[in-house]
Structure 1
Amino acid sequence: MDLETTPLSVKLGPRIDLELAGLFTENAAAKIWRVAASLLEKENPPHNYPEYVPATGETAGKYTLKPEIFWTCGFFPGSLYAILERFIKYPKSLPSPKSTEANFHAQLLALCRAWAKPLHPMALRTNTHDIGFILQPALRMDWELTGNTRALESIITGASSLSTRYNETVGAIRSWDKKVTHRDNIVDMDENFLVIIDSMCNLDLLFYAGHRTSNQKFIDIATSHAHAVLRSIVRKDNSTFHVVNFDPKTGAIKQQMTHQGYSDDSTWSRGQAWGILGFTQTYIWTKDPTFLDAAIALSTFFLSQLSNPAIPYPYVPLWDFDAPIPEGTDPLRDTSAGMIAANGLLLLHQILHNNSPYLDAVLRITKDTLDYCLPSETARFEVSDEGKVSVPNALEGQWDSILMHATANNNGDALHRYGDHGLVYADYYFLELGNKLLRMGLV
């Protein structure tokens, strides 16, 4: 890791709060509120969820929606609950309108519950490994903040559903049932068993439900899966493949490849970030040093890719660390990779206390993201005489997400290739990073 000699955390000293103030603006909370309220006016309960904000075209600046079954559906309600957590536990971090506390809380909780309600039936799904992403961001917080037992029940049901995708021979949970691009057509589940690096961040669901219910099966499945990912997806230089295809009958590795990155041998930055966060979470649950070593190794590789002085704001990750950069262009980035990695790095800092460079890295990633990726539009709360909270639409330049410059999928063979946009999970991990800093008492 190539960081300057003087740590940013030391250099800033008491100015850390000021430098990272962009994590806690009224604008961030107001944008989430505006999108949530305006979409509910058209469809309540919602069956379509925000996914990405295009930078060009007729819908530039407006969220593109995906059906509720899409894997990202949990992140937007998760963002609402992140705001609710700030309001309840850290009121100084959420600039709220001059309204009564009860009014603001009641209206925010109503938005949270409206967007979370369609997630509960998802807990029964056995056709996706993304059930952790779908349930955890909103329903775990609903349980922990409000004591909603239905939310906890759905989390436990979701863990049971996820466990059905486990294969003892492979020692892993099947991530995808198929992989179809302009190059690949892997659809036979009897001959193929696809696992992706993203899966590491769905294990938290199994660990949480397993310890909550004393279900050792959930814990053992999650632990076995993490070992399988470590041996099959992490390369010798501690970079990562995106996808591995096992033979489900023997457990042998058939292929190691990409789906959303530049090439099979490149390092897709968001995949590396999923690995950092996922292995760190797994260590927190298991205390197995193997997983801590993996998280540190992946972090070292990730951070080594962020120090190119020829690239402005180098701590906003490139979408793929090995993708060519056309001469004279600003390279394509992925803010979601930076925000996901920063969440993992902050947990590593907490684990290692002061004996790590990870807080410094988190601050650098966050500062470059704030400087480079915030749109010019600023959203603000308003309160009617009756106490109703609203967020007016901007007259011009409206941008629905908090951040810009994310890239969902820029693989040349992708059926749907899209990049340089706002992205719902970039925003979720942006808000969650702020909440982690608050929980640790660092801001």
Structure 2
Amino acid sequence: MKNILKSLALLSVILVLQSYNNNDSKPIKSIKKIVKASAEQYTFMNNSIYSKLNTKRMMPRTIKKNGETGLTGIYDWTSGFYPGSLWYLHLLTNDAKWEKLATEYTERLDSVQYWTENHDIGFMMECSYGNALKKAPSKAYDDVIVQTAKSLATRFHPKAGIIQSWNASKKWGCPVIVDNMMNLELLFHATKISGDSTYYTIAVSHANATMKNHFRPDYSSYHVLNYNPETGEVLGKYTHQGYADDSSWARGQAWGLYGFTLCYRETKDPKYLEQALHIADYIKNHPNLPKDNIPYWDYNAPLNNDTPRDASAAAITASALYELATFLDKKESKLYKNFANSIINSLSSPAYFAEPTTNNGFLLKHSVGSLPHNSEIDVPLNYADYYFLEALYRQKTLK
């Protein structure tokens, strides 16, 4: 009898664990349904703002405090995300109307290829022209990518081995932000197109410096480092958009995860894969990560009922995790895919995904731009939508 009771108890534990694992590893509820809802939302958005965007070469970025859609110009760092989202809608639906719109908004950014004022041209042009090249080859678009890489390379300091992010100011002479890891994809792409290894070499140099200097022993990241561009000496470590200089800004962690994952894809250097895994584990196991896996705006921010979540950080993380999973063995791959699925399931729920014809047509609610600057707090953001759609595309296509 005692043995039977022990067996029943053991069976009960097994069933509980299986139930937990099944809940933890639920697939995305319905990609087709999410994609359909996303297409309907962006149809609503485009119909609402097309005349404004058409006359002023503007892009939708957020919702302003007065409830109007906040538009931004082509030289804003977020200008590539709207055309990029249109490309992903086309790739997900194969509807020709999205290709037409994506092409139109992408080509509005043509002059950005010559812009050298900051590092963000990687975001701007890889998300637009880079995604256009996923649809079909184009010599003209290839040329844009290579020229943009030339412009970005002007910000490289060879003695320090880093790409300067922002221009010098009274606060810092040569700032480098963790976000800059995202712009390395453009450089790798340019080398593939042109055969010129210069861009690849710059990308690897910058990644190595970031891995060495930006991350703490627990794999949390500083946001901004101030370098001596002649020696590579780190003069200071700060935050600009996080809670404190020694805190872990949620979107910064996501940028780092995504950036080192793409560096491994392009180089196959195992140190980048190891770095990405450490960052992923930091995020997944952080004690302040809420149960729905949508982080607060900073992992070290004081928590109360009003502490904002950041859906943009969650979407970037999920997209990176889907790619990261493709580089791992079956057991590890499942672990990170499950984590990504849980994030996307949360973002697809009514808590974060907007009801039809609400949210000014943006998909996701509850993102944070820069809380310390009282800018774009608890609002939709075009890059949250972009990485959400990219995550859906990757979940569907990456094996």
Same fold (TM over 0.5): yes
> By how many angstroms is 1:370 displaced?
2.1
Distance 2:322 2:287 in 1: 17
> By how many angstroms is 1:298 displaced?
0.8
Alpha-carbon contact 1:45-1:117 (below 8 Å) kept? no
Distance 2:183 2:282 in 1: 22
User: Identity over the aligned pairs, expressed in percent?
Assistant: 29
Instruction: Describe the shift of the 1:372–1:294 C-alpha distance in structure 2 as closer, same or farther (beyond 3 A).
Output: farther
Residue correspondences, number: 382
Q: Any idea what the Cα deviations from partners look like across 1:84-140, whole Å, max 9, x if unmatched?
A: 11233xxxxxxxxxxxxxxx51x3322112211121110111111111110111212
Alpha-carbon contact 2:354-2:363 (below 8 Å) kept? no
Paired residue type of 1:320: D
Extract unaligned runs of 5+ from structure 2: 1-15
> Corresponding residue for 1:319?
297
Q: TM-score, normalised by structure 1?
A: 0.81
Distance 1:340 1:347 in 2: 11
Matches within 5 A, 1:160-175: 160-175=150-165
> Corresponding residue for 1:265?
246
Distance 1:338 1:216 in 2: 33
Q: Any idea what the Cα deviations from partners look like across 1:65-86, whole Å, max 9, x if unmatched?
A: 1222100000000000001112
> Corresponding residue for 2:198?
217
> Corresponding residue for 1:256?
237
Give the counterpart of 1:408 among 363, 369, 388. Answer: 369
What SS is found at the alignment partner of 2:66?
Answer: coil
> Corresponding residue for 1:289?
270
> Corresponding residue for 2:8?
none
Distance 2:268 2:325 in 1: 15
Alpha-carbon contact 1:306-1:314 (below 8 Å) kept? no
Alpha-carbon contact 1:306-1:316 (below 8 Å) kept? no
Alpha-carbon contact 1:315-1:369 (below 8 Å) kept? no
Paired residue type of 2:70: T
Distance 2:367 2:33 in 1: 17
Distance 1:317 1:20 in 2: 23
What SS is found at the alignment partner of 1:270?
Answer: helix
> Corresponding residue for 2:213?
232
Distance 1:52 1:333 in 2: 16
Paired residue type of 1:73: S
Alpha-carbon contact 1:22-1:370 (below 8 Å) kept? no
Alpha-carbon contact 2:214-2:222 (below 8 Å) kept? yes
Instruction: Describe the shift of the 1:361–1:115 C-alpha distance in structure 2 as closer, same or farther (beyond 3 A).
Output: same
> Corresponding residue for 1:177?
167
> By how many angstroms is 1:330 displaced?
4.4
Instruction: Describe the shift of the 1:398–1:128 C-alpha distance in structure 2 as closer, same or farther (beyond 3 A).
Output: closer
Alpha-carbon contact 1:9-1:363 (below 8 Å) kept? no
Runs of 4+ in 1 over 4 A off after TM superposition: 4-13
Matches within 5 A, 1:295-310: 295-305=276-286
Instruction: Describe the shift of the 1:126–1:276 C-alpha distance in structure 2 as closer, same or farther (beyond 3 A).
Output: same
Alpha-carbon contact 1:32-1:79 (below 8 Å) kept? no
Structure of greater relative contact order (alpha carbons < 8 Å, 6+ residues apart): 1
1:67 aligns with 2:45: no
> By how many angstroms is 1:360 displaced?
1.3
Note the aligned Cα RMSD (angstroms).
2.2
Paired residue type of 2:126: Q
> Corresponding residue for 2:387?
429
> By how many angstroms is 1:376 displaced?
5.0
Distance 2:386 2:328 in 1: 25
Instruction: Describe the shift of the 1:9–1:204 C-alpha distance in structure 2 as closer, same or farther (beyond 3 A).
Output: farther
